[in-house]
């Protein structure tokens, strides 16, 4: 069964390029396009697409305003922001408003296709470059939390959290957490640690489960808040 997609962007040329790209995929189908937020909202309510690709900078109703209305009127549709903006503040606002993803328009074609499929499954999709920007924002704000206990790099595990609720991460999980805090992809982490990419995915899922988090961005932020982002290259 194909994934239905609504594309909302005020640039005709960009919409045309995305449409041609996605038409190559048998399981993806752009059911409609819109050049502004109001038209996008109207089409979303009529068609109930699986995934909505939404620009932030549009005339009239802004992308964030449109996002607020979409999450209220068509909550079953997964909204992925696709924009030129690389501002961490807009990323945070979009995620708080209900977007499941945030990608920049210079994204690789295969990354966009994979992100749409992940979004359909309800999985968060964040541009790697935006993960690092969010982490840097936390660093600049000096948001380190006192009370977190960090063991030396060669220790087999690390204990985090309040005394009443301690979380145990293995040394390998802590290494991967540091890589995520630097904005590295699974492929880059696998290359750095000389392990299979599938192994990295398993470790990431274990970290998410142990820390009760839902995305790689949250892991990165958690690492910074608890002094676990490391200073590696």
pLDDT digits (tens, 9 = 90+) for 111-168: 999 999 989 988 778 887 777 776 666 666 554 444 443 333 333 334 444 332 457 8
CA distance 230 to 178: 6
Q: pLDDT of 200-223, one tens digit each?
A: 999 999 998 998 887 777 787 778
Give the pLDDT of residue 37.
Answer: 95
The domains located in the chain, with CATH, are: 3-126 (3.40.50.2300), 136-225 (1.10.10.10)
Which sign does the torsion angle of CA 214, 113, 128, 7 carry?
A: negative
Instruction: For the beta carbon of residue 198, count every other beta carbon within 10 angstroms.
Output: 10
Residue 27 has pLDDT above 60, yes or no: yes
| 80 three-state secondary structure | strand
pLDDT class for 172, splitting at 50, 70, 90? Answer: very high
Determine if the pTM surpasses 0.85.
no
CA distance 173 to 167: 12
Q: Which segments within the chain are labelled E, that is strand?
A: 3-8, 28-34, 51-54, 78-83, 101-104, 125-126, 157-160, 167-170
């Amino acid at each position: 069964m194909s994934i239905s997609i609504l594309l909302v962007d005020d640039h005709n040329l960009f919409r045309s390029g995305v449409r041609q790209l996605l038409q190559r995929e048998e399981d993806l189908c752009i059911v409609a396009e819109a050049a502004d937020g109001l038209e996008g909202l109207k089409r979303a309510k009529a068609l109930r697409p699986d995934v909505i690709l939404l620009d932030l900078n549009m005339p009239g109703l802004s992308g964030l305003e449109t996002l607020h209305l979409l999450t209220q009127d068509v909550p079953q549709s997964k909204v992925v922001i696709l924009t030129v903006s690389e501002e961490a503040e807009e990323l945070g606002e979009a995620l708080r408003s209900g977007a499941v993803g945030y990608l920049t328009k210079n994204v690789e074609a295969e990354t966009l296709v994979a992100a749409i499929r992940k979004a359909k499954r309800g999985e968060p999709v964040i541009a790697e470059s935006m993960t690092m920007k969010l982490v840097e924002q936390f660093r600049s704000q000096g948001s380190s939390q006192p009370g977190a206990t960090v063991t030396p790099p060669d220790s087999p595990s690390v204990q985090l959290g309040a005394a009443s609720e301690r979380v145990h991460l293995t040394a390998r999980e802590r290494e991967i957490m540091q890589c995520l805090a630097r904005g590295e992809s699974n492929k880059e982490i696998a290359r750095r640690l000389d392990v299979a990419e599938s192994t990295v995915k398993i470790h990431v899922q274990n970290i998410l489960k142990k820390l009760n988090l839902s995305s790689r961005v949250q892991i990165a932020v958690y690492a910074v808040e608890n002094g676990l982002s490391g200073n590696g290259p």
